[in-house]
Structure 1
Amino acid sequence: MSSEGRIPAIEGAHLLQSLRASDFDIPSAIGELIDNSIQADAKTVNIKVKDVVAGTHKKYKLIQEIVCADDGYGMDATPGSTLHSCIKLGYSTRFNNRDGIGRFGVGMTLAGIRFATKIEVYSKQKGKKWNYIIFDLNNDEDINEGIAPPVEKEPPAEYLTLVGKSEGTLVIWSGFDKFAEQDLHATTYSDGFEAPDSLDPYGYLNHWIGRTYRKFIWQGVKINLNDQEVYSFDPLFISKQKNQFPEDPKAKIIFEKEIDWNVSHNGKKGGSETSKIKIKISLLPEFYRENISKGGLQFKGRYIEENQGISILRSDREVYYDEIPYFGEGRVKKLNWEDKDRWWGCEISFTPELDEHFTVKNIKRGAVPAKELKIALYSLIKPVRDACIEQVQAHWARVKANQERGKFETGTDIKTTHATAETLAKTTKIPEKPKAGKNLTPAEQENRLENLTRELDETDAQKWRVKFESQPFTIMDGHWKGDTFIDMNYLEGKAILQYNLNHVFFEEMSNIRKQLQNMDDPTKAVKLAQKLHELIDILLMSFVRARQGFDEDSEYSVKQIMEYTVRDWGRYLHTYTRAYEKEHLFEEDV
């Protein structure tokens, strides 16, 4: 066939500008870099995101450079080789390969030019030197004449420690120019939590990477983001391996199944070749579900509110995490996603042979099952989902019943002799906010509650828990061996003081009370004994409140601890005693 009169099918410069309007966001773009590192058998992947402060009135951070460095096997640097061609759109040593997480050969470059104008790649193979290529959208030669051959060049000194010593690859994206894009604001990827839950300045990006590549992290791949190791995150809450909150309880696997599905070739079905789809469903622990109204939001860093959907993995790499739209057998018979769907987790895993059935895109985002497969998955998942929701609602009914019962157990059912001091602590304003117990994880707080009530039966334990929650300061009488006469526990915003009634101090106190009660004027004696008892409460309560002013995560010298404790103990004792005197101002002297 003659080539006369033909024109190029592609207008290179215009096409490149058009391709910059792809669907990549910053996390999925960085994901393309991590994919390449994992495909190169990297054991360590280092991501760096550099930003600058921008804005005149309202300040925000603008991403300036993204770097990915690894210790995987490097690329051949001869002209026309892998390194020379790696930026070329459509080039891939693994094009249409169904064995790994790559396939199309457009990821790294398409992701890079989505935001940046310059892509630089350094690569080194074992026993060879570093080589370098560059592609710059602002360089007419690169656009019109093509990518220059690799040259020998060492990576910048600041990044040499991030790559492997004997082999590795370094990719640098720079020249970010789409300043109006929300995706270029570094603040978009902060999690906004407080320590110790926060992983900022890129906490949410850390979370996204940890969830997307969780299986690889479990297999030993170490990923660092701005020198901070990325934690794995399992949206099924089953695995706590390399997780930020390993002490949290694990979810239960309530359903597992593998199904065989016919493989399509170029959109055509037929033949006997099949591939397996794995389905796993979990029910989140009751630990997260106690507070009906908060919906898990109190558990910072667990992202329970995002768990309203399904995680789909392709070759162990997550390619979708959201509600599946129109998930059902038609417009009427479908799953209507609700807030309570966050309490069960679902993971669907498949291999690349089934890409057509999961409508996988070239940017590995938005993989959703095709119609026939969607119906098959729905028929398996929907009954399990309904059973999970029933369990969640049944648990909430029990919680609500306990809360209703607890309305009558906020102290009236627990008769102690410490009510005056506890009421004083509740009504007396102390300007300083307590620090001790502020940074407890939910699991640590639960562990302290269990230790406080472990000697009690279930009914009494529940009553005391309600009492702890209802007031800032609680005093308990206890009995234990040893020389300690009090014990202190701190929860978030709460303090619990325990008296060891086996201690000689309290035995003597008890003797004094008995002697006073045997005085000639029993009325005065009883009042005096009670007043003495209340003042002792105030004395020790003041000490515990002074201790509550110390941040448990900070370091103090012994001298500082003693000085601050004595100072604050006296200050709080003065405040509480004055308040006590006002309470008893018009009482008769005893």
Structure 2
Amino acid sequence: MPAEIENVNQGFVEQDTALESMRASDFDCYSAYGEVIDNSIQAFATDIRLKFEERTDRENTRRKKIGRVLFADNGEGMDQYLLHRCLKLGHSSRYNDRSGIGRFGVGMTLGAIHECQRVEVYSKIKGGKWYYTYIDLEEIRDGKLSFIPSPVQKDPKTDLVDYVEDSGTLVIWSKYDKQYESFENIIDESHFWIGRTFRKFIWGEAQGYNKVDIYINGSKVKAFDPLFVNKENTGFETETPAILLKPQSFPWTVPVEANSKNQSSQIEINVSLLPDDYRRESGKGGDQFSKDRFINRNEGISILRNDREVFYGHLPYANQLGGSEADRNVNRFIGCEIAFKAELDTEFEVKNIKRGAKPVRELKVEIIKRLAPTFRTQREKIRNRWNEKSRENEDDTSTNNSKVGISSTHSKTNEFLKKTKSTLLKNNKINDTEKDEVIGKKINPEASENEIDKVIKALKENGITIDEKEFIGDSFIDIEHGNQLKTLFYNTNSTFYKAYSDILDELKERDSELADKYKVLLDLIFVGYMLAESNIDPNEKMDGATFANELKQYWAINLSKILKKWNS
């Protein structure tokens, strides 16, 4: 080997290619934004502002593109020494310090280059001037930039920092080339993600830190509490808070590598039950009321590290907490928060980007053992209350229906259909106004003209109604499509109905609850067929084979949709 090669000093990485490779890190855009916010919080900022600017250098009428993202804070700022090193991977004035929310010294830069190719930083300390440095991956790739430039005195050219008085920092991301979601969705989701992740800081409850106001494009970020206990700065301050169940706390051994003076550290578990006026009725966990309050997104578990959320979602292989879709739909009305100190980072497999943390197997087993009974009890409580309300609503529906001649024979199904009519009738293509009176007469043949109007009105309130009548012949169902109302009659004279009734009566003697479910299930199968008919445009011409295929496809689609709602 030539001597000149032996004596050449080799760096630890090929700088340009290494940085390009690091762009494929395990960030998403929100966790990348979170890293910059972390730095601002650690600099004791009380006001943090994000601004998303639309790209203007090219036309794109179909989709807005992010041109720049700016982050400003009124924290302590950085002197020239720290500013020169703040973009260097692995450098941190708090490296391996577990007392705060940072630790590794790679988050801000890794997060930035995951999203964009140019990162600029302005900072000033109390009594000082603004200083500036940057990195640009294109310049590094082209050989124009080999080192992080020494900070130079330079004032920011943006009004975003006009509020900064004594000290602060401005970070600008440009050459933004990793946008995978729409411009509008990124802003909306940033509000939600930041409000949940930094909720303790927004409330001023994070240990060792100031209360923080965070703004995105001039709009203040509202806190989101997965427990629904703290209503401060949520936008729903006057509404009933959730019931906080008895907290659980248990010690866990601190790993040797944490270099902690403590042999064990407490893990705190809080579980809540959302208030009755949030739980309302079964099947409403995804309606607009729930979406406005993010109840529909509250099926997971929140894990906090030093008061900052590092995980939200379902713990893997934790079916004991509710593995079925039906259980998960109920779990959204149960809040759960697990909090630990950073000295247990190893036990929660905390990554250097503070994303995706989850407990190691032994710890997860312990957590599940403590949570599973509570989750089961609360789900049972929620379902019992729903059943109680359902019986009340069912009685009301049966009473109102009986006034116009609709029997209570299928009241459970009719109540379910009434609650879900807006969804089920969404793609209805048959609205035959002339059929309304015909249907009304079938319900109540003796009704006068004024009474028929009341019958039709009641049927429209139901949307879809199931009943039983005796008809001549052996046809087992009769379906009618009116104007925003549909009826399905079983022919009590048919061979099918008689066989069905015999089986149902026998089943009732063994298990009345199961018999009721069987009855509703059979009703819904035929409702699926009814909706399949109404999905086909009556004015569209097609041959018999095409019609049969479309009918089968729509039947399968509607039945799947109906049963999914019924199971939830």
Deviation per CA, 1:405-457: give whole Å up to 9, x if none: 111444988xxxxxxxxxxxxxxxxxxxxxxxxxxxxxxxxxxxxxxxxxxxx
1:210 aligns with 195
Equivalences for 1:257-276 in 2 at 5 Å? 257-266=248-257, 273-276=263-266
Instruction: Give 1:49 deviation, angstroms.
Output: 1.0
Are 2:36 and 1:39 equivalent residues in the alignment?
Answer: no
Are 2:107 and 1:110 equivalent residues in the alignment?
Answer: no
Are 2:185 and 1:182 equivalent residues in the alignment?
Answer: no
Aligned partner (choices 376, 388, 395) of residue 405 of structure 1: 395
Instruction: Give 1:66 deviation, angstroms.
Output: 0.7
Q: Distance in 2 between matches of 1:47 and 1:271?
A: 38
Q: Distance in 2 between matches of 1:134 and 1:356?
A: 33
Instruction: Give 1:55 deviation, angstroms.
Output: 10
Contact 1:124 1:167 in 2 (8 A): yes
1:128 aligns with 128
TM-score by length of 1: 0.63
TM-score by length of 2: 0.65
Q: Distance in 2 between matches of 1:334 and 1:395?
A: 20
Q: Distance in 2 between matches of 1:157 and 1:254?
A: 48
Distance verdict in 2 for CA 1:161–1:6, change over 3 Å? closer
1:313 aligns with 304
Q: Distance in 1 between matches of 2:321 and 2:177?
A: 43
Deviation per CA, 1:354-392: give whole Å up to 9, x if none: 000000011111000000100110111000000000101
Higher helix fraction: Structure 1 or Structure 2?
2
Contact 1:359 1:369 in 2 (8 A): yes
Contact 2:321 2:371 in 1 (8 A): no
| One-letter amino acid of the counterpart of residue 317, structure 2 | Y
Aligned partner (choices 285, 293, 317) of residue 302 of structure 1: 293
Instruction: Give 1:258 deviation, angstroms.
Output: 1.3
Deviation per CA, 1:466-492: give whole Å up to 9, x if none: x9x969xxxxxxxxxxxxxxxxxxxxx
| One-letter amino acid of the counterpart of residue 86, structure 2 | C
1:65 aligns with 68
Instruction: Give 1:143 deviation, angstroms.
Output: 7.0
2:148 aligns with 147
Unaligned runs of at least 5 residues, structure 2: 205-210, 404-457, 463-568
Deviation per CA, 1:20-63: give whole Å up to 9, x if none: 01121221111011100000000100111112489989722211
Distance verdict in 2 for CA 1:381–1:3, change over 3 Å? farther
Q: Distance in 2 between matches of 1:26 and 1:276?
A: 32
Q: Distance in 2 between matches of 1:251 and 1:168?
A: 38
Distance verdict in 2 for CA 1:130–1:214, change over 3 Å? same
Distance verdict in 2 for CA 1:342–1:53, change over 3 Å? farther
Are 2:117 and 1:88 equivalent residues in the alignment?
Answer: no
- Segment drifting more, 245-254 vs 221-230: 245-254
Q: Distance in 2 between matches of 1:326 and 1:49?
A: 38
- SS of 2:50 mapped into structure 1: strand
- SS of 1:318 mapped into structure 2: strand
| One-letter amino acid of the counterpart of residue 82, structure 2 | T
Are 2:14 and 1:11 equivalent residues in the alignment?
Answer: yes
Contact 2:322 2:331 in 1 (8 A): no
Instruction: Give 1:98 deviation, angstroms.
Output: 0.3
1:534 aligns with none
Instruction: Give 1:177 deviation, angstroms.
Output: 2.3
Instruction: Give 1:9 deviation, angstroms.
Output: 2.8
Distance verdict in 2 for CA 1:102–1:3, change over 3 Å? farther
- Give the percent of matched residue pairs that are identical in Structure 1 and Structure 2: 41
Equivalences for 1:418-429 in 2 at 5 Å? none
Instruction: Give 1:144 deviation, angstroms.
Output: 5.4
| One-letter amino acid of the counterpart of residue 174, structure 1 | S
- Segment drifting more, 7-16 vs 232-241: 7-16
2:425 aligns with none
1:488 aligns with none
Equivalences for 1:560-579 in 2 at 5 Å? none
What is the aligned residue count?
393
Instruction: Give 1:315 deviation, angstroms.
Output: 0.8
Unaligned runs of at least 5 residues, structure 1: 190-201, 414-466, 472-590
- SS of 1:83 mapped into structure 2: helix
Distance verdict in 2 for CA 1:211–1:135, change over 3 Å? same
- SS of 2:245 mapped into structure 1: strand
Distance verdict in 2 for CA 1:62–1:346, change over 3 Å? same
